[in-house]
Structure 1
Amino acid sequence: MFQLRSFRNSDPPAIAEVWNRQPPQRGLVQPVSSPLLEQLLFSKQTFDPEGMIVACRNGRPIGFAHGGFGPSDDGSSIDYSMGATQMLMTLPTMRSPELIADLLAASEEYLRSRGAKVLYGGGMRPLDGFYLGLYGGSELSGVLESDRLMTDAFQQSSYEVAARALVLHHELSRHRPAVSREQRLLKRETQFQQNFSPAVTNWWDANRLADADRQVFRLTPRRTLDTLARVEFWDIEPLATRWGIRTAGLRELHVPAEHRRRKLASFLLNESFKTLRKRGVALLEAHVMQDNEPALNLYRGMDFTQVDTGVVFRKPGGTA
């Protein structure tokens, strides 16, 4: 038999043990220590001990489920209207259907008790306040298909697939920037701006990205500071250390609507890749929604290759 309870301050060593005994996965940091989990998870202002449900047998933690929420529109507080069970793990020797179902049900009960009307499975933007750098990769894109425990747990609890994201990699040693008349013209007409310590813009991002080493690159006209295109990268630590290769996660590539169809995105990326390579980055990762054809075409044209898929699950019923 097992019992369920909320997180206690004495739990981190046992949580780390459960984590480290998971089957190896590309998108999961292993090993972790209790100080690392304290730094990247338990010390966050958004962490609610009631939201981490711990399963115990004879007083010993054997698994956990962790539910969380997203930010308000301005990022100044938590929005409790939507919630997600962002992580679920058990010791491999204790992986019974009953235990997994009860952990997930307890997480759902917690999310509903705080006001959630819509329940998701797996962390994804904007429900991504935890586990960046510990799970997934450059983004949290739900549950990785390679993660059989969580995939099976949500499917067996009647969750439906709400979206899919492709996880793409690109080795910078193989990058060959396009040379065209358009690219040469953009080089003359624009300035490539670099910011290696960008400020966070709100309370939510300060919590979510506090430990991330971020870089922002922009294109501006030569005579003004208007942004023609912008992209952000971060170091995907400590996950990249586990891979044994210095990696940058590509996120938040944006070109304002009035400046699109001018090859600004590909030019900005080419310039960014050259800078990152000079700084020792060898691998890039990007997550792209499966139905985002323009972005997929852009990355495929730059020789990104798929290495995994993220699946966002949603519980039927509820209203946004």
Structure 2
Amino acid sequence: MSGPVSTIDAPPGETDTGHPTAPCVEVSDSREATVGRFRVRRALPRRGRRLIGAWCFADHMGPADVTENSGLDIGPHPHIGLQTVTWLTDGQVLHRDSVGSEQVIKPGQLNLMTSGDGVSHAEEATGHYRGTLEGIQLWIALPDATRRGPAAFEHHAELPRTDLDAGAGAATVLVGEFAGIVSPARHDTPLTGAELDLRTSATVPLRSGFEYGLIVLEGAVTVHGRTLRPGRLGYLGEGRDELHLEVREPARAILIGGEPFEEPILMWWNFVGRTADDIIAARADWEEGRRFGTVEGGYCPPLAAPALPGLPLKPRGRTH
């Protein structure tokens, strides 16, 4: 489910519209894209909205049918400057990477890969699972302090859960902190990443210094009169201590948020850098077999890097 980010998602030289310090509800449509052999709904990045906290990418994939020998079918490809967060709601995927990891992920489990200065990985069929596959992959931009560090991989078979108010449902904390509960997954900036399993309307706690976004995976959720369904991103701004979610039927949503990430970033293909030189060097290293190691096993060939865009590559920050 990894990338790639194109100039359609993140046009070179364009800045974000900023993070309102007052609460808001900005709704944008996801863009349909193709990853491997799957169609995905890409909620982030979008024109004018690259970041929510340090979250910089969100692909809602499926549902789609897979077999034992044909799944996502995404061959080895490189990353720099980010973490990949993989969360399934149905099915199974096999992750392999250049750190030496080989891990099947199932619903309710978390795969988190930290690229540091360079890692490669593949996402393929498991060899045994046949059925429906659905999930979301998100990227977290790494700060300057850690973005050139070593690559690493974590698999969390269990994550902390908490009940929402009045039996309205439950929240699973994927990354960071939610409602005073902290995920065991690594995070390098103050973050929230949580799945909300909603049975009825609920009020959930937030941190006023964080900005937030909501991605609905199933059903519909209404926030201040704006209804979000799969295929739409709700950006909520900053300044809330809580958020009321209206639900008329069971729904599942991903809440992402964090302290506004003030470092300008440059996103292209599977890379999150700071300068054009970062991107150009990473692309050259991948094409020439340097830096990113080798993904052993698997049935999909490595992906070739696309041509660099004709427009100048410039880091994009926020306008205030």
- TM-score, structure 1 normalization: 0.26
Q: When you count helix as a share of all residues, which structure comes out higher?
A: 1
Query: As a proportion of its length, which structure holds more strand?
Result: 2
